[in-house]
Amino acid sequence: MSNDHMTLTETSKLLLHDKEYELPTITGSEGEVGIDITQLRNKSGAITFDSGYGNTGSCESAITFIDGEKGILRYRGYPIEELAEKSNFVEVSFLLIFGHLPNKAELEKFHFDLTHHSLIHEDMKKFFEGFPPTAHPMGILSAMVSSLSAFYPEAGYNADIKLNIVRLLAKLKTIAAFSYKKSIGQPYVYPRNDLNYAADMLHMMFAVPSESYEVPNVVAEALDLLLILHADHEQNCSTSTVRMVGSSEANLFASISAGICALWGPLHGGANQQVIEMLEKIKNDGSDYKKYINMAKDKESKFKLMGFGHRVYKNFDPRAQILKKSADKVLNQLGVNDPLLDIAKNLEEVALKDPFFIERKLYPNVDFYSGIIYRAMGIPTNMFTVMFALGRLPGWIAQWKEMRETPGARIYRPRQIYVGETKRPYVSIDKRK
């Protein structure tokens, strides 16, 4: 057992076809109970069925704890609210990946490494030229991260893993900013070692060679907060993808590239882009938000309130609560008056009182307010999910590393219940109907 906090407690009994099977029960450090079915198939021939994995624990993990009923999110035991208020993204990245808050020397070294590995190989710039201007930056991001394995082929676990982790964290923001510059046809702006992580990213996006540009503090601070809030979220779709790919011992860059693709989907990280598109649609439709609430309740319409609902959070998403306050603050400080913020607040107010949303425990998730802040910062809509990927990177890396360091970790390989045709003979083409 890799996790010292996990205890083997009692056994559970399963009655199947009149035969009883004893299965061990395990309890995590926060009292979460799991039935260990690793020997179930060997003992009984049966498997469990859990479409969408809503009840399946795929690993033991000591990185992030979520209690969806109570709205609790903690990284390595530290509440997200405290980290959001007192820490910064580089420190949180260290915490997630290495398991403890860095001391002063460790943090300085980590920061130094992240700034001194932020250049990408000049040959990589040629890759950007090959993409059409219409390319979505998430597609470019994933392709570029995968391409890093061509420049650093020794990226398996046994190579200098710390160095490759630093390389990836340092270079992802450069790649993300270059993909934006490519999409608007402007020259690339190189990273600056005197800026912090968030400010450097924004400088690479918004500076132009002909003008001097200073990143406003309020904007850099807002991005740093957003990155912290997105940094990890236990076994979500993209993180499970990173673990799934990594379980075959694929290298770090290949595994993260797959996670970026999983994040892109509108039901996951792509929702932040969809939220703004939805709010714009409502605005252009005379701001009649009640009409869209009714559409979301009508199953025939196939319309969903984007940024609402979560597989795990069933009372509130603590990240969304922090971001709602931050949206007010950032827009005020920047002097931005965005009618989309009013529509979002109206939608939330009406939905939270509506029995349809109350019964299904549908609340705003992290994506509901993040898009409004990104807009106020001047970040274009198609870059929202890229910003999410930048934030989630330390979590993906931490989970990949933890998996590779777990003794006896096996390749991920779920089973299925086959519902297709049973055995039948081949029919030659002249005899087919």
In the region spanning residues 334 to 353, those forming contacts with ligand ACO, defined by CB under 6 A, are none
Whichever of 155 and 225 has its CB closer to ligand ACO, that residue is 225
For position 311 contacting ligand ACO by CB under 6 A, the verdict is yes
Does the active-site annotation cover 310?
Answer: yes
The C-alpha atoms of residue 245 and residue 252 are separated, in whole angstroms, by: 9
Q: How far is the CB of 22 from ligand ACO (least distance, A)?
A: 32
For position 296 contacting ligand ACO by CB under 6 A, the verdict is yes
Whichever of 41 and 311 has its CB closer to ligand ACO, that residue is 311
In the region spanning residues 356 to 395, those forming contacts with ligand ACO, defined by CB under 6 A, are 360, 362, 365-367
Whichever of 201 and 229 has its CB closer to ligand ACO, that residue is 229
The C-alpha atoms of residue 47 and residue 50 are separated, in whole angstroms, by: 10
Q: Which of helix, strand or coil describes residue 428? A: coil
Q: Strands of 19-27's sheet, edge to edge? A: 7-16, 19-27, 33-35
The C-alpha atoms of residue 269 and residue 35 are separated, in whole angstroms, by: 30
For position 168 contacting ligand ACO by CB under 6 A, the verdict is no
Whichever of 154 and 288 has its CB closer to ligand ACO, that residue is 288
Q: Give the per-residue SS3 of 376-426.
A: HCCCCHHHHHHHHHHHHHHHHHHHHHHHHHCCCCCCCCCCCCCCCCCCCCC
Question: Which residue in the set 71, 137, 309, 371 belongs to the binding site for ligand ACO (CB under 6 A)?
Answer: 309
**Stretch binding ligand ACO (CB under 6 A), from 64-72, 84-92, 282-290, 305-313:** 305-313
Does the active-site annotation cover 338?
Answer: no
Q: How far is the CB of 365 from ligand ACO (least distance, A)?
A: 4
> Contacts with ligand ACO: how many residues (CB under 6 A)?
19
Q: How far is the CB of 368 from ligand ACO (least distance, A)?
A: 7
> 217, 137, 229: which is closest to 183 by C-alpha?
137
Q: How far is the CB of 372 from ligand ACO (least distance, A)?
A: 14
Whichever of 166 and 327 has its CB closer to ligand ACO, that residue is 327
For position 306 contacting ligand ACO by CB under 6 A, the verdict is yes
Residues 6 or more apart whose Cβ sits within 8 Å of residue 381: 273, 276, 277, 371, 374, 375
Phi then psi for 78, rounded to 5 degrees?
Answer: -90, 125
The C-alpha atoms of residue 390 and residue 174 are separated, in whole angstroms, by: 10
Q: In this structure, what DSSP letter does residue 314 have? A: S
Please report, as ranges, the residues that interact with ligand ACO according to CB under 6 A: 52, 267-269, 271, 296, 304-311, 360, 362, 365-367
Mind telling me the catalytic residues? 310, 367
